[in-house]
């Protein structure tokens, strides 16, 4: 009974983590960028969806769509006004770009977070769930929305897989992750690859944000925690490895759920942090990393 409950809850949470983290790792793979405004982008999606669905009466689906749209816009703006200028800057030495991107996206994330807190307060918002009600799965009372969340997350990841493996743009994207220079030689415009990857990232982060908002509720104060959690999952899985992030998301999701149910909800993140330290020391390339 409790085991099944952990299985179901852990699955929903893990799917959410995976959706958020995969976009994060994709950007790292293609352009070597760790985007520390990740959490703020997720929060933006959730708050916009909450606003549009509730106050403007667009309903849960309209709200979710516009929320994801907002996330894509913020993600492209992040690339356009923070990441790209740093990458292009001549004043910043090449080996220092990484730290400048980290600091730049961190500052940008704080700016987005502060605007949300200013306009909508830092009280958590709950996005209207796509479907209401609960179903009984072998004695475990499960909200329908929890099932919908897992389904949507997997649908999004499935579409991403198709895009990457079955389309020209997607293949180019993967190639860029492996060898950006070779790709330019083949006549691909790296700039448009970057736009593509930031758009995909925006969609995935937006979906994760909206779903999280409808499942648990999201506050602007969560932005830092969300970034840290995506960062941890991605390192655990191996930087740049999509499959690794997927596996790591489930490891983290279930480890947290087990801790929360069987030990104490107050320390749910502690075992994950310890695992992370151990993995980083013993196998710095992560569970499935290439490096």
Partner 1 sequence: MKRKYWMLPATAAFATLAFNSAQAAPPIKIGVIAEASSVSGASIPKAAQLAADEINAEGGVLGRKIEIVTYDDHNSATDAVRAFQRAAREDKVSFVIASYISEVVLALEPWSARLHMPMITPGAASDEISHNIYKDYNHMKYVFHGYFPSTFIADSVCDAAKDLLVDEHHMKTAVVMSEDAAWTLPLDAEYLKCLPKIGLKVVDHIRVSPDTTDFTPIFNKIEGEKPDVIITGISHVGVQPTVQWAAQHVPIPMFGVSSQATTSTFWKDTNGATNGVVFQTAASAGVPVTPKTNPFSDNYEKKFGATPSYAGYTSYDDVYMIADAIKAAGGTNPDKLVTAMEKTDYVGTIGRYVFNGKTSPFTHTFKVGKGYITGIVVQWQDGKQVPIWPANVAKAKMTFPSFVKLPQ
Partner 2 sequence: MMSTPKTLLGTAAVIALMALLPFAGVGGYVLGLMTSALYFGVFAMGWDLLFGFAGEVNFGPSFLIGVGAYTAGLLNHYAHWPIIACVPVGALAAVVAGLLLAVPALRLSGPYFGLVTLVAVLLLQNVIVIFAGFTGGEIGLDLPDVLAISSRVNYWYALGVAGIVALGLFALSRSAVGLILQASGQDAIEAAALGFNVVRHKLAAFCISALVSGLAGAMLVFYLGTVSTDSVVDISIGVQVIIAAVLGGRRTILGGAVGAIFLIVAGELLRPVGQLSTFIVSAFALLVILFFPGGLLGRFIVREGA
Residue ranges binding partner 2 (CB under 8 A): 34, 82, 85-86, 89, 91-92, 95-96, 98-100, 102-104, 106-108, 110-111, 114-115, 117-118, 224, 228, 231-232, 235, 239, 266-267, 269-270, 273-274, 276-277, 280-281, 284
Segment near partner 1 (CB under 8 A), from 27-35, 74-82, 138-146, 163-171?
A: 138-146
CB 72 to partner 1: min, Å: 24
**Helices 270-282 and 242-258, axial angle in degrees (round to 10):** 140
Among 128, 130, 246, 279, binds partner 1 (CB under 8 A): 128
3-state secondary structure (DSSP) of residue 137: strand
Q: How far apart are CA 87 and CA 30, in angstroms?
A: 13
Cα(116)–Cα(155) distance, integer angstroms: 29
Residue 97 binds to partner 1 (criterion: CB under 8 A): no
Which residue's entry shows tokens 């085991």? 3
Distance CA 44, CA 46 (A): 5
Tell me the C-alpha distance between 66 and 210, whole Å.
10
Find the binder of partner 1 among 81, 118, 273, 283 (CB under 8 A): 118
What is d(CA 245, CA 17) in angstroms, rounded to the nearest whole number? 9
Q: Which of 15, 145, 232, 245 binds partner 1 (CB under 8 A)?
A: 145
Asked if 268 interacts with partner 1 (CB under 8 A), we say yes
Closest separation in Å from C-beta 153 to partner 1 = 16
Residues 11-30 that bind partner 1 (CB under 8 A): 13
55 in contact with partner 1 (CB under 8 A): yes
Residues 78 and 270: their CA atoms lie apart, in Å, by 31
245 binds partner 1 (CB under 8 A): no
2 binds, among partner 1, partner 2, none (CB under 5 to 8 A by kind): partner 1
Binding segment for partner 1 (CB under 8 A), chosen from 67-75, 83-91, 129-137, 270-278, is 129-137
- Is residue 128 a contact partner of residue 53, using CB atoms and an 8 Å limit? yes
Contacts with 169 (C-beta within 8 Å, 6 or more apart), sequence order: 163, 193, 196
Residue 151 CB, shortest distance to partner 2, in Å, is: 32
Q: Helix, strand or coil for residue 141?
A: strand
Whose structure tokens read 């807190």? 117
How far is Cα 7 from Cα 257, in angstroms, rounded to an integer? 9
- 231 is written with which tokens? 């960062």
- Write out the residues near partner 1 by the rule CB under 8 A: 2, 5, 9, 13, 54-55, 117-118, 121-126, 128-129, 132, 134, 141, 143, 145, 215-217, 219-220, 222, 225, 257, 260-261, 265-266, 268
């Amino acid at each position: 009974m409790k085991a099944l409950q952990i299985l179901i809850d852990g699955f929903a949470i893990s799917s959410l983590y995976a959706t958020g983290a995969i976009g994060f790792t994709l950007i790292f793979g293609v352009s070597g960028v760790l985007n520390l405004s990740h959490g703020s982008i997720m929060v933006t999606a959730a708050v916009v969806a909450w606003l549009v669905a509730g106050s403007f009466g667009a309903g849960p689906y309209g709200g979710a769509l516009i929320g994801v749209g907002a996330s894509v816009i913020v993600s492209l703006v992040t690339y356009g006004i923070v990441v790209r200028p740093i990458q292009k800057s001549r004043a910043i030495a090449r080996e220092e770009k990484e730290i400048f991107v980290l600091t730049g996206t961190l500052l940008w994330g704080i700016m987005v977070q502060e605007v949300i807190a200013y306009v909508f307060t830092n009280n958590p918002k709950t996005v209207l769930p796509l479907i209401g009600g609960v179903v009984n799965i072998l004695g475990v009372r499960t909200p329908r929305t929890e099932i919908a969340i897992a389904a949507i997350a997997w649908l999004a990841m499935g579409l991403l897989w198709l895009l990457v493996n079955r389309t020209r743009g997607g293949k180019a994207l993967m190639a860029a992750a492996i060898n950006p220079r070779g790709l330019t030689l083949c006549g691909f415009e790296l700039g448009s690859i970057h736009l593509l990857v930031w758009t995909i990232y925006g969609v995935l982060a937006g979906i994760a944000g909206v779903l999280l908002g409808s499942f648990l509720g999201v506050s602007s104060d969560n932005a830092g925690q969300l970034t840290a959690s995506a960062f941890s999952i991605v390192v655990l899985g191996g930087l740049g490895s999509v499959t690794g992030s997927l596996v790591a998301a489930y490891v983290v999701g279930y480890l947290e759920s087990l801790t929360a149910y069987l030990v104490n909800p107050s320390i749910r993140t502690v075992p994950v942090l310890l695992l992370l330290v151990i993995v980083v020391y013993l196998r710095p390339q992560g569970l499935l990393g290439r490096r």
